[in-house]
Amino acid sequence: MQNHATETPPIARDQAVLSLHDVSFAIDGRNLLHPLTLEIPAGHSIALIGHNGSGKSTLLKLIGRQLAPTTGRIDFEGKPLAGWGTRAFARRLGYLPQNTPPAPGMLARELIALGRYPWHGALGRFGAADKAKVEEAIEVTGIEPFVTREVDSLSGGERQRVWLAMLVAQDATCLLLDEPISALDIGHQLEVLALTRDLCRDKGITIISVLHEINMAARFCDRIVALHSGRLIAEGTPSDIMTPEELARIYDVQMDVLEQPVSGRRVALAR
């Protein structure tokens, strides 16, 4: 069985798991992200919102080391991103792109098991600890009914849950999800976001999701980070963001905000 006793304990809930200091990104002389400073608390579900081209996916890719900042520094768990080894970083942070690749001929259980790769490597033995993590991920995400089916045969919502299960099996403490519900119908959107919320609350995972639908972000996330034209324009709780004034600044659209009588949740409607 693998021994991970040398792994550094994760950051405690509410402490800064990610700190961005004057981080920017430019390509071909065009600023996609202007310098921003931001702290993200551990154990929270964070929504990145804003209109198309506002810099949401760029910011997520910078945090996930898919891109390198043009200026500034990003610290993850108190250490600069550049100071993390590839395997150590993969054990801590999982990234789900907007368009997941096809997996021809691969069963759902086999895809989930790939989440254990950072722990044993290409030549390592898939041991009892790995098997236990895979089984836990299947149970937590509720995908037992279709783990023996081919991934590419699944519906969009089922496929997203399998990919999320792979990240859960990875045992990462922070997950980055780039538009995880963009291609799903509303029923599957609710399922996937409820799952991410439960993972955050039950397992203490920090989850940062790029979302287009402000009402979904306000319903399922603890905090909202809003970008506009590559600039950080607002950050706070759903109650802070869900006001006509803030939403007009973020989306350049006039909205009314209603409070649901039973849940007390605020819902935004375009005028």
Determine the structural domain holding residue 46 and report its residue range. Answer: 16-242
User: Is 50 within the bounds of a domain?
Assistant: yes
Residue 4: the pLDDT is: 47
Residue 183: the pLDDT is: 82
For the chain, counts of helices (H) and of strands (E): 10, 12
Total number of domains constituting the chain = 1
User: Is 251 within the bounds of a domain?
Assistant: no
SS3 267: strand
Residue 134: the pLDDT is: 94
User: Is 10 within the bounds of a domain?
Assistant: no
User: Is 109 within the bounds of a domain?
Assistant: yes
User: Is 271 within the bounds of a domain?
Assistant: no
Residue 119 and residue 98: Cα distance in Å, rounded?
A: 25
Question: Which residues, in sequence order, are bridge partners of residue 204?
Answer: none
Which regions of the chain are under pLDDT 50? 1-6
Contact in structure between 119 and 130 (CB atoms under 8 Å): yes
CATH number for position 24: 3.40.50.300
Reported pTM: 0.91
Q: What is the dihedral of CA 239, 244, 245, 251, to 10 degrees?
A: 100
User: Is 8 within the bounds of a domain?
Assistant: no
> pLDDT, tens digit, for every residue of 67-98?
999 999 999 999 999 999 999 999 999 999 98
Residue 121: the pLDDT is: 62
User: Is 119 within the bounds of a domain?
Assistant: yes
User: Is 208 within the bounds of a domain?
Assistant: yes
> pLDDT, tens digit, for every residue of 209-253?
999 999 999 999 999 999 999 999 999 999 999 999 999 999 999
